[in-house]
A and B are shown apart, each in its own frame.
Chain A
Amino acid sequence: MSPILLAVIIVAAIGLIAGLGLAIASIVMAVPVDEKAEAIRECLPGANCGACGFSGCDGYAAALSKGETTDTTLCAPGGADAAAAIAEITGLAAGEMIPMTAVVHCKGNNVNAENKLIYSGIESCKLAIQVFGGPKSCSFGCLGYGDCEKVCQFDAISICDGVARINPDECKACKMCISECPKHIISLIPKEKANAVVLCMNHDKGALTRKECKAGCIGCMKCVKNCEAGAISVINFCATVDPEKCTGCGKCVDGCPVKCIYMQGNICMVKEEENVL
């Protein structure tokens, strides 16, 4: 046999054996792919924000597929569309999903709020709060260093005049900002319903609040008296609106002496006269 032919045969044989071996191995040792989870994963937005409480979109898809959860409405960024798509794939009941938006309960911008010290450290709420609770006199208010802005994956948050503001059109209610805010002044409210929001979290007594911030809730109870639906309650000198009871009549907004109640959607995103007071 000619040496060239022998070489060709040997290399071809090795290639053939390797190829066949790999082909057999890939069939014998194939890892079963969860097709249902793959299909659910396609419906999710892929932001991996963790609002559902699982380790990203893949985790939620796997949990749904394996039946570890039957709640199709956990994906806040995906909203009602994702919930309907998941329900179609899994055969679970499509839960009703109320679109929510996050809102920063503070109006203590650079004009309204007094400062008790000058902070010139690193621009981070988490670090600023270490220095006597931050530069603002009000120990409850937004520090405005934008920790929430940095963590928002949807560019919904901007710092307007020293206070974080959330654009409801961009907000997907993923709750990343809520867990990031060291002052705990961000919460979710219904996005599409007319709804009053108290832009203050100050629980100091009225007189002290007045000294700290011009727009702080002094707990005067005027909104409670004005509200016909009984949606507002004042706890520890600060009013809160129950979004389920609120009818959106707007009487509390008109009556508030410090102008810290706003209708959802009317909260200014930019520096404006109305916001500055």
Chain B
Amino acid sequence: MIKYYIAIVLTAILTENFVLAKFLGICPFLGVSKKLNTAVGMSMAVIFVMAMATAVTYPINKFLLIPNDLAYLQTIVFILVIAALVQLVEIALKRFIPSLYSALGIYLPLITTNCAVLGVVLLNVEKAAADASFGFAASMFNSVGAGLGFLLAMVMFSGVRSKLESADIPKFMQGLPITLVAASLVSVSFLGFGGVVENIFG
């Protein structure tokens, strides 16, 4: 059983990395990866929101939408719920943990309806529909794994970008062009993980 969950987490981090393999959440990936500390702050907020979003949307999907044959409403209901949830978390953090609020503060509203967050909850219900053994716990592990994968991608890419800062780049490539080229190369490197998890645990 533990092996099953480890496999889920590792798959989410490496082979199905949300940024580098599924190309979700590219906007914060390019926007906030300039410095390591902001990249880590953003990733922490993403992990937190992904876990919270799955914890809330999974029961809504299972006990409200599916019994009423309303699975086609998943996207719109999930956006609504996640947005409200992030706002609530922001208010609560501001009140009770101001230090964490000031650390995550600016990133929380940014990821309110980030496609990576919406993506992870939609993929969770998709997997749950296809595979009966993929329950609530598996969904949570998958979400946290996806968040960790986001963290890994952000940290790696902030390293790449700090190297780019000191590199002598031709003028026409400076700024976003070279950043996108570098992102695609990092993404290609992640293709190397294809099949690794299946072969270890399969």
A binds B: yes
Could you tell me which A residues sit within 8 Å of B by CB distance?
A: 3, 6-7, 10-11, 14-15, 18-19, 21-22, 25-26, 29-31
Could you say which interface size class chain B belongs to? 20 to 34
* Pairwise interchain contact A14-B68, C-beta atoms closer than 8 A: no
Instruction: Tell me if B64 is interfacial: C-beta within 8 Å of chain A.
Output: yes
* Pairwise interchain contact A3-B84, C-beta atoms closer than 8 A: no
* Pairwise interchain contact A11-B87, C-beta atoms closer than 8 A: no
Instruction: Tell me if B122 is interfacial: C-beta within 8 Å of chain A.
Output: no
Residues of B within 8 A of A31 (CB): 94-95, 98
* Pairwise interchain contact A21-B95, C-beta atoms closer than 8 A: no
Starting from the known contacts A14-B80, A26-B91, A29-B92, 16 additional A-B residue pairs (CB-CB under 8 Å) come to A3-B68, A3-B70, A7-B68, A10-B64, A10-B73, A11-B76, A11-B80, A14-B77, A18-B81, A22-B84, A22-B87, A22-B91, A29-B91, A29-B94, A29-B95, A30-B95
Bound state CA distance, A269 and B177, in angstroms?
A: 45
Residues of B within 8 A of A3 (CB): 68-70
Instruction: Tell me if B88 is interfacial: C-beta within 8 Å of chain A.
Output: yes
- Measured CB to CB, the nearest residue on chain A to B95 is A29
Please provide the chain B residues from 48 to 70 with a CB less than 8 Å away from any CB of chain A in the complex: 60, 64-65, 68-70
**B interface, by DSSP: helix, strand, loop or mixed?**
helix
**A interface, by DSSP: helix, strand, loop or mixed?**
helix
Could you tell me which B residues sit within 8 Å of A by CB distance?
A: 60, 64-65, 68-70, 73, 76-77, 80-81, 83-85, 87-88, 91-92, 94-96, 98
Residues of B within 8 A of A18 (CB): 80-81, 83-85
Closest 5 CB pairs of A and B: A18-B84, A29-B95, A25-B91, A29-B91, A7-B70
**Mind listing 21 A-B residue pairs with CB under 8 Å?**
A3-B68, A7-B68, A7-B73, A10-B65, A10-B68, A11-B77, A11-B80, A14-B60, A14-B80, A14-B81, A15-B80, A18-B81, A18-B83, A18-B84, A18-B85, A22-B88, A22-B91, A26-B91, A30-B95, A31-B95, A31-B98
Residues of B within 8 A of A26 (CB): 91
Query: With A29-B92, A31-B94 in contact, is A21–B68 under 8 Å at CB?
Result: no
Bound state CA distance, A10 and B65, in angstroms?
A: 9
* Pairwise interchain contact B77-A25, C-beta atoms closer than 8 A: no
Residues of B within 8 A of A29 (CB): 91-92, 94-96
Residues of A within 8 A of B87 (CB): 22
* Pairwise interchain contact B70-A6, C-beta atoms closer than 8 A: yes
Give chain A nearest CB distance to B135 CB in angstroms: 23
Bound state CA distance, A11 and B88, in angstroms?
A: 19
- Measured CB to CB, the nearest residue on chain B to A18 is B84
Residues of A within 8 A of B77 (CB): 10-11, 14
Residues of A within 8 A of B83 (CB): 18
- Measured CB to CB, the nearest residue on chain A to B101 is A31
Bound state CA distance, A231 and B165, in angstroms?
A: 55
Bound state CA distance, A130 and B81, in angstroms?
A: 61
Bound state CA distance, A3 and B96, in angstroms?
A: 42
* Pairwise interchain contact A11-B94, C-beta atoms closer than 8 A: no
